[in-house]
Structures are given as C-alpha cells and as structure tokens.
Amino acid sequence: ENSSDTVAISVRKVSGNVTSMVSPSFFRPALIARKRNNTEDISAIVMELACNEIQKKRDSFTAASAITTLNLPSVLLRVVQKAEFAGIDLHSTSGKNGFEGIVHGGNRLDPMSLRVLAFTDMLSRAWQSNRDELVFEHDAILQEGGNRTKFEVKVTRLEENAIVVVVRDVSERYRRFEAEKRFVFETTARQKDAEANRFTRHEVKNGLLAAIEICGNIREQFSEDFNLLQKENEVSLVTEQSLKTRVEHISELDRTLHEVLDIVLAETMARDVIHEMYVPRMERVDVNYILTHTRGFTASHKQFSVVCNPSPLPILLLDQGLFKCIHGNAIRNALKYGEKGGPIRTEATYYFETGWLEMKVINLPGPGHAQLIAMGPRASELVFSHGTRLHKDSHSNQRSHSAGDGAWIMHKCATILGGSVQITFEEDHTEFVFRAPCKVYDAPLREADHFHLPS
C-alpha cells in the first residue's frame, strides 16, 4: 500500500461478473479531492463490474470527453478501511459489509469518475487476453483539462478466472526520455552547425586570403612598374596619375577584403560563444593597434581618442577575437546610443602588479539617458540581459536593426576570458568598463652561438 504502483487482484465469478480488489494508490488523489477523511487508513478499493462491461472493446486511451451518462460503466465501488479489511465479504451485494455507492451517470468533472473509467478500461483489456503474461500501455486524462498520463500495465494470469494486474505511472519516464531525445537532437544539430561553421569559415578565409595575396602582388607589381618608369624618365603626368589611382583602388580593395575577413571570423566566433562551445585561443595581441584602429566604424576619426597607461601598452597574451568583439561592440554602442557626433574616449590601463587589463569606453549622454539614470542600478543589470534594449538610437533618422544582444555577447566574451563587464550611467556621461586577467607576452629567446674573437 506504500508503493506508487497499483496492484489489483481480479476474480471472475460464476455469473461472469468481475470483482477486483485494488490498492488505494490509484484512487487516493480522487479521494483527497473529494475531501474524504483518513485516506491513509484506506486499505483497498473493491470494484465489481458486470460481465457485459468486461467484454466491451476498450481503446488504449481514456479521455475525459468520453465520460457521459450514456457510456459511463456501471461499477459497484466500495472503499475498505483497514479495520474492516479482515471481515470483508466480497460476495455480498448488500448489508453492512456489502458494496456501497454506484458510479453511474456521475458528474462529468468528478475526478473519481475519471479514475474509475480509466481503471475499468485497463481491467477490461487485461481480461480480454488469454495469455499467461501480458504487458501493455494505457493513456488516460485523469482530470478535466489535465495532461495525458501514461501507464504501464502488467497482467499475470493465476488461473482461468483469476489475474493479478500491476499498474505503474511511467509518465515521468517518458517525459525524461523525450527531454533526453530533444537534448541529443539539439546537441547533434549544434555540432553539425558548428562543423558547417568551421567549414564555411575555413573556405571563406582561404578565399579571402588568396584574394588579399593577389591584391598584394598586383600592388607590388604596379609599384615596381611605376618606379621603373620614373627611373627611365618616361612617365607622363597622366600615366603617373593613372598608376596612383590604380594603386589606391587596389589598396582600398585590400582593406575591404581584410574587413570582410574580420567580419566572417567575428560572426563565426559569436555563434560559438552564444552556444558556449568557444575555447579561447591565447595569442600575441597588440592592444595599442586594436584600440587606435577605428576602420569599419561609421564615424569621424576626430571623435575618437585613446589614452593608454603605460603608453604604449605591452604586448599581451589575449584572445584577439574576444577582445575585438568586446571593444568593437563598446565603440558601436557609444556611437549608436551616445550623443550624435560626440567624442568617444577609450582609456586602457595594464596593472603589472595584478596582471589585469582594464579598458574604459566613455561617451556623452544620448537620447533617453535621463530615464536610464532614473532606473538606478537596475538599468546597468538589464543592459547585459539577453534580448534587452534600453537605449534609444542617437540617429533618429535611421532605422535600427539591433536586437539588444550586443552587451549580452560582450558579457559572455568577458566571462570566457575570466573577466567582467559593467556599465554606469552618470549625469554627464556613460562609462563602459571591461576587466580581465592577462599576461605580458614574453618573446621566446633564440639560442645564439657565443661570439668569439678570431684568433
């Protein structure tokens, strides 16, 4: 009676009617819903079904919509207390120890009626088999508007007119199985997506590097031809201007290809970061060059200023892609949400005593800044939440395609580096801060032969 499994001993009488003694676990929720007192003192539920009810063909699914006054089976039902169990008379139909209560034409929403109908269907299916052992599944909705419950029913025949039925709720097992199946499916899809990303990145990168190499060769060839013509004094003003223009165009193409390569690498890296599959690649990084490299931002060079301490910063061991992602998003956010055309100041400090790098990006307030200040610390927390966009664009005439994920991705990048990001909204400015531990790059020492004076 303490098991979650429901055990029923079912016997067929000479009349063809079937009497079943059922452990109370299956009906206990309905008894509690009926506010029946002392449900823990219940020893068994006794059910008697007419012969014609047992012989009816039953579906493998019991639905709440099936309960009507026309098809609800006539079931004699009795709740047996522990004190009464020893003196119960299963053959009597009246009197003190007889069956009481007829479940027929009951309330459609009554939870007991739902459970009686479900168990009747399972008993009928069990009796309709002549096999000594049988296992089948049965689904039921045990409360109005509830979810489907899945049961595993095991039937063992003791003799021709007696069977033992064990009913087990396996819904949780199936839900866990479905969850594991979804997890495997999504993991496999993610791995395939990662493989496709790596392949695409590899092929696109190779194509861009080949194009960059070609541009470099053409530029060198034009430079050599131009120098040769100058030496031979056979270059005219028109030819000189034409050659300079071609070199400029090739240089512009070279810059564009490098930008596309950076975008491809950054996009692929961002996918891996979002799916938490990215492994940082520590390499030699010139932070000074990245901070002063403002190509690719739609702004005037006069808007940007960089202050480094020490100046210049040492060469560091960092994941260049992650750092570029954090710095690039910080600059783009300052341009998008700060004062239009306002100055953007980047301050970078490397603390030798702790081995930490700190980068600040400071911009003047943009539209909606007062509302952000009014939100207090909550605004700083929400900025780094997934899909949250609190700012208004400073370029009101341009439609924004921002999904509000830039700061969220920056937070993920900083976490991978073992660092942190934060943002504060002051009255006269907005300050973004990135901090992370990193080591100074030590160039490997080259072994050299000792110098000896000739004898």
Q: What is the predicted pLDDT for the residue at 402?
A: 44
Q: Which two tokens stand for residue 49?
A: 């079904």
To the question of pTM greater than 0.75 for the whole model, the response is no
Q: What is the pLDDT of residues 27-68, one digit of tens each?
A: 888 888 776 657 778 888 899 888 888 888 777 888 766 555
Q: What is the predicted pLDDT for the residue at 396?
A: 47
Higher pLDDT, 116 or 257: 116
User: Predicted confidence band at 106 (pLDDT cuts at 50, 70, 90)?
Assistant: very low
Adjacent-strand bridge partners of 424: 431
CA within 13 Å, CB half, 396: 4
3-state SS of the chain: helix, strand, coil percent to 5?
45, 20, 35
> For 144, left (φ over 0), alpha (ψ -120 to 50), or beta?
beta
Instruction: Return the amino acid letter for 114.
Output: L
User: Predicted confidence band at 384 (pLDDT cuts at 50, 70, 90)?
Assistant: confident
Q: What is the pLDDT of residues 193-209, one digit of tens each?
A: 766 666 666 666 667 77
pLDDT at 94 over 50: no
User: Predicted confidence band at 353 (pLDDT cuts at 50, 70, 90)?
Assistant: very high
Q: What is the predicted pLDDT for the residue at 63?
A: 73
Percent of the chain at pLDDT exceeding 70:
73
| Long-range CB contact pairs, 145-150, < 8 A, 24+ | 145/64, 146/64, 148/61, 150/174
User: Predicted confidence band at 105 (pLDDT cuts at 50, 70, 90)?
Assistant: very low
Q: What is the predicted pLDDT for the residue at 164?
A: 95
Distance CA 152, CA 167 (A): 6
Higher pLDDT, 154 or 296: 154
Q: What is the predicted pLDDT for the residue at 166?
A: 95
Element (H, E) at 83: none
Distance CA 36, CA 19 (A): 23
Which of 381, 364, 374 lies closest to 423, judged by CA? 381
pLDDT at 222 over 50: yes
pLDDT at 362 over 90: yes
User: Predicted confidence band at 93 (pLDDT cuts at 50, 70, 90)?
Assistant: very low
Q: What is the pLDDT of residues 404-455, one digit of tens each?
A: 567 888 888 899 999 999 999 999 999 999 999 999 988 665 555 555 556 5
**Angle made by CA atoms 310, 312, 313, in degrees to the nearest 5:** 65
Q: What is the predicted pLDDT for the residue at 454?
A: 61
User: Predicted confidence band at 401 (pLDDT cuts at 50, 70, 90)?
Assistant: very low
- Average pLDDT of span 142-150: 82
Which of 343, 339, 387, 379 lies closest to 361, judged by CA? 343
Give the pairing type, strands 304-309 and 283-285: unpaired
Query: Across the chain, what does the average pLDDT equal?
Result: 79
Distance CA 369, CA 383 (A): 13
User: Predicted confidence band at 400 (pLDDT cuts at 50, 70, 90)?
Assistant: very low
Q: What is the predicted pLDDT for the residue at 307?
A: 94
* 321 within 8 A of 269, measured Cβ to Cβ: yes
Which of 94, 177, 164, 176 lies closest to 132, judged by CA? 164
Element (H, E) at 59: none
- Average pLDDT of span 64-91: 69
Range from 42-51, 173-182, 289-298 carrying the lowest mean pLDDT: 289-298
Q: What is the predicted pLDDT for the residue at 61?
A: 83
Distance CA 344, CA 35 (A): 70
User: Predicted confidence band at 392 (pLDDT cuts at 50, 70, 90)?
Assistant: low
Q: What is the predicted pLDDT for the residue at 175?
A: 87
Q: What is the predicted pLDDT for the residue at 12?
A: 92
Percent of the chain at pLDDT exceeding 90:
27
User: Predicted confidence band at 243 (pLDDT cuts at 50, 70, 90)?
Assistant: low
**Angle made by CA atoms 232, 238, 244, in degrees to the nearest 5:** 80
* 85 within 8 A of 158, measured Cβ to Cβ: no
* 14 within 8 A of 45, measured Cβ to Cβ: no
pLDDT at 272 over 80: no
* 137 within 8 A of 150, measured Cβ to Cβ: yes
Q: What is the predicted pLDDT for the residue at 350?
A: 96
* 356 within 8 A of 383, measured Cβ to Cβ: no
Higher pLDDT, 262 or 373: 373
Q: What is the predicted pLDDT for the residue at 418?
A: 93
Q: What is the predicted pLDDT for the residue at 90?
A: 61
